[in-house]
Amino acid sequence: MSETPLASVLFVCVHNAGRSQMAAGFLRHLAGDRVEVRSAGSLPGDGVNPAVVAAMAELGIDISDQRPKVLTLEAVQASDYVITMGCGDACPYFPGRTYLDWVLEDPAGQGVEAVRPIRDEIKGLIEGLVAEIDSTHAEKRQS
């Protein structure tokens, strides 16, 4: 599909190894190429949390090829939505972006059993985000 994405979304957490990776994985899975997806961390870790990878795999979403990335000004500027998950004040602000702060438990150091409820909460938030993006795009088409 060569159409321009409806929106671009950047997920930010501290290590870019858990919450933001799950959110990005869900958004890619649920929105496909309708939405451009980025994720980053204010202090990126060495790799994605293995329990997070396993929890996502249980739902058929493979994020094993993802790597933590550093948060850049360019990534924020290029995004319509900037969704933070515990990165504090490390996220720069640019007017015209939609900023959301999702308060989610950090899966760092936890096993798959503890990650599942976090994963499921993120899935619900992503489903709401996709509905919002689709609705906003439909309104723009009608105006």
Name the residues annotated as catalytic.
13, 87, 91
DSSP per position, 4-72? PPSEEEEEEESSSSSHHHHHHHHHHHHHGGGEEEEEEESS--SS--HHHHHHHHTTT---TT----B--
What is the rounded CA–CA span in Å between residue 94 and residue 27? 23
The number of beta carbons lying within 10 Å of the beta carbon of residue 75 is: 18
